[in-house]
Structure 1
């Protein structure tokens, strides 16, 4: 056993010995409502500040928008590489309380599960990276580089006051980054599809409903025709670039062999998905509607650009001879990935195997996250965190306690490997 392996074994034992602290910390994070919207992270940020201060970890605090706080904290030194561990403090709204079997802000541990809003997305992962950093400091582990925590708000609405705000101002840099977003136990996500959200507005001519379709021009009817064309984006054949084909294939393997309920979704990795999310139009049933607005969420695979999709949409809709406009909003990104052989990917994947004794490999996700921002700034990044995936953003959100502990072990050992790599 070499010195690094011995050190990692020591740190795994330390996580075991301090696991009650980790679980209590995670529970306390869940008990602090940090719902976005509105996105107020004042209370949870102050709680994390106190937790870091207990072992003398210094930090900088930035209020990017009203009551939206970023924390940047580091241990180690500037002599070597820098690894960033990132997590967001905000959570999605709880929805109808009557549909929960427990208090969404209880942070209760029951039958091996941590319960509450944010348990999987992503306060368990957030707790893990903060706990691992604090434990390294507490044990006086000498690092040949720097481990930085980037604790951010405003992720759940795709806002600009978290990760992009820090990166634009060069307040966070790094040679590699891990985001503790939910993932499967053995398969971090190293790539993601692009996002293309837009609102279609169709304009018509009003008139008395009793004269339709002979009078006026029905904006809703024209919008229905437009929707039919928009949905044909799914039918397009996309040529996947050669350099990402291995990632697509291993991701299909994951969907066949690991998350078997995802088998039927394999096509989404290579297709433009189209979700007609909302429709608003008209004023009364007896008035020919003069407007209709439709919000659409498309996810773009590798091999097609946003500009190409815009041109395709315009050609399809122009051919309908309707009065329309398209306005982009929300998530905007192209498909992006970090190569599996990048040091940060290797460090996480190898230490998942080291901790679990099982084969691990990176896969692609079909959604989007803050990872895209780091890649825009040439910071290699992947995502790995504890989660019960079916409960994310739903009622009765939860995560297994054993998964929280496992991920903390991976975080602390991967930091050692990455920072000691030449």
Structure 2
């Protein structure tokens, strides 16, 4: 019988011993610009392939769109359980370089911080996954199941050519998955709200501006009335399903005790959030506008569906007597989660405590991610990765080196617990 605790400790010690190699790998990934857009993952995919080939682990390349390459590699026993470790190579654009205090593609380590675009989202986590995957082979660890590394090129612009593409084409499957997306050190995300993005177009009747409001019909002023109704979505009383209430409560506890600056955001876990993102209307100040378009980002809690939101909007907007149309676009998902008791959640959460001797528990996120795609295919999933959360997608992105090392240790130990569990 395998002593799994001893095996986990052996792997953790090996990560510690080779931590400089891990940090060098992370730095190298950051030094390769992989901004999306444009979304060309050729250079970084080749680098990862060359790294893994050192250990006879050559990944398959799957081009989902022009120069967007998904990499897949598996190690272990195909007859056992399969654990997917997933990460994305793309990063958001660096933006105005004059607003950075350092080269966003330097990958430098300064005062214990790894610096650069993607440091937190999510090249540090990606480096941890790749490093641990290679380490298993280097140490000739005989796994009773299979560890699959799935590296995707397209998450930051919606992910159409990444995780969902792999799942739709039956290129990956598993009993559980871990995405190395940024999280807090002791609190992986095991659930997320749904997304409901829509564009409202309000129609008016053009006329000379000097005759408004008597002449014509102003699409912009009608759109303003519509926006007031749309914002009332926040005030809807939604019944949270009983099975979800413990997750909501522990997530609110997290906001109170861990990320205390987010205390005021506790209500978003039970409410429909409404962001009026863009407004476009009219052609000239002296012409009564014929059209006004409004794009809205709503995030849906557990307890309400897309159809129910659509029905509410129809009733509310019809009551105004305006002419309008609505079309859905962008992210579309219902609130979704993985049980805290699922083996993949237990493997990560328990090993955060094993590595750090600190209480750990899973929480909800109020946004969306690739995790929803795994759940659509009945693959339990959670997210855990190194991050300095305030710097994500901003200037001067960074992550603490010690966080990169800690997460890699958790990744290594979790493989053992998950694959050895019957």
Global fold match (TM > 0.5): yes
- In structure 2, distance between residues paired with 1:38 and 1:229: 37
Query: Quick check: 1:128 aligned with 2:110?
Result: no
> What does residue 346 of structure 2 align with?
346
Query: Quick check: 1:298 aligned with 2:314?
Result: no
Q: Is the 8 A contact 1:196 1:306 kept in 2?
A: yes
Q: How does 1:223-242 map to 2 (within 5 A)?
A: 223-242=223-242
- In structure 2, distance between residues paired with 1:416 and 1:376: 26
Q: Secondary structure at the match of 1:182?
A: coil
- In structure 2, distance between residues paired with 1:227 and 1:296: 9
Quote the offset at 1:287 in angstroms.
Answer: 1.5
> What does residue 325 of structure 1 align with?
325
Quote the offset at 1:96 in angstroms.
Answer: 2.0
Query: Quick check: 1:26 aligned with 2:48?
Result: no
- In structure 2, distance between residues paired with 1:134 and 1:280: 51
- In structure 2, distance between residues paired with 1:55 and 1:371: 29
> What does residue 15 of structure 2 align with?
15
> What does residue 70 of structure 1 align with?
70
Q: How does 1:51-62 map to 2 (within 5 A)?
A: 51-62=51-62
Query: Quick check: 1:396 aligned with 2:407?
Result: no
Q: Secondary structure at the match of 2:161?
A: coil
- In structure 2, distance between residues paired with 1:271 and 1:7: 45
Q: Is the 8 A contact 1:87 1:126 kept in 2?
A: yes
Quote the offset at 1:127 in angstroms.
Answer: 0.6
> What does residue 359 of structure 2 align with?
359
What is the Cα-based RMSD across aligned positions, in Å?
Answer: 0.9
Following superposition, which runs of at least 4 residues in structure 1 exceed 6 angstroms of deviation? none
Quote the offset at 1:145 in angstroms.
Answer: 0.5
Q: Is the 8 A contact 1:124 1:404 kept in 2?
A: yes
> What does residue 218 of structure 1 align with?
218
Query: Quick check: 1:35 aligned with 2:65?
Result: no
- In structure 2, distance between residues paired with 1:420 and 1:400: 31
1:209-244 per-position Cα deviation (integer Å, ceiling 9, x unaligned): 222111211111111111111000000000000011
Q: Is the 8 A contact 1:58 1:74 kept in 2?
A: no
> What does residue 180 of structure 1 align with?
180
Q: Secondary structure at the match of 2:6?
A: helix
Q: Secondary structure at the match of 1:251?
A: helix
Query: Quick check: 1:263 aligned with 2:267?
Result: no
Query: Quick check: 1:139 aligned with 2:163?
Result: no
> What does residue 416 of structure 1 align with?
416
- In structure 2, distance between residues paired with 1:30 and 1:183: 19
- In structure 1, distance between residues paired with 2:247 and 2:169: 32
Q: Is the 8 A contact 1:11 1:409 kept in 2?
A: yes
Q: TM-score, normalised by structure 2?
A: 0.98
Query: Quick check: 1:5 aligned with 2:8?
Result: no
Quote the offset at 1:289 in angstroms.
Answer: 1.2
Q: Secondary structure at the match of 2:34?
A: coil
> What does residue 369 of structure 2 align with?
369
Gaps of 5+ in 1: none
Q: Is the 8 A contact 1:144 1:419 kept in 2?
A: yes
- In structure 2, distance between residues paired with 1:301 and 1:207: 43
1:111-136 per-position Cα deviation (integer Å, ceiling 9, x unaligned): 11111111111111111111110011
- In structure 2, distance between residues paired with 1:284 and 1:98: 36
Quote the offset at 1:306 in angstroms.
Answer: 0.6
1:351-374 per-position Cα deviation (integer Å, ceiling 9, x unaligned): 000000000000010000000000
- In structure 2, distance between residues paired with 1:153 and 1:310: 33
Q: Is the 8 A contact 2:197 2:295 kept in 1?
A: yes
Quote the offset at 1:295 in angstroms.
Answer: 0.8
Q: How does 1:127-206 map to 2 (within 5 A)?
A: 127-206=127-206
> What does residue 287 of structure 2 align with?
287
- In structure 2, distance between residues paired with 1:207 and 1:116: 53
* Greater Cα offset, 95-104 or 194-203: 95-104
- In structure 1, distance between residues paired with 2:28 and 2:141: 26
Paired residues in the alignment total: 421
> What does residue 383 of structure 1 align with?
383
Q: TM-score, normalised by structure 1?
A: 0.98
Q: Is the 8 A contact 2:159 2:370 kept in 1?
A: no
* Greater Cα offset, 358-367 or 4-13: 4-13
Q: Is the 8 A contact 1:195 1:299 kept in 2?
A: yes
Q: Is the 8 A contact 1:81 1:145 kept in 2?
A: yes
Q: Is the 8 A contact 2:241 2:302 kept in 1?
A: yes
- In structure 1, distance between residues paired with 2:255 and 2:178: 23
- In structure 2, distance between residues paired with 1:410 and 1:312: 45
* Greater Cα offset, 382-391 or 317-326: 317-326
> What does residue 208 of structure 1 align with?
208
- In structure 1, distance between residues paired with 2:217 and 2:401: 58
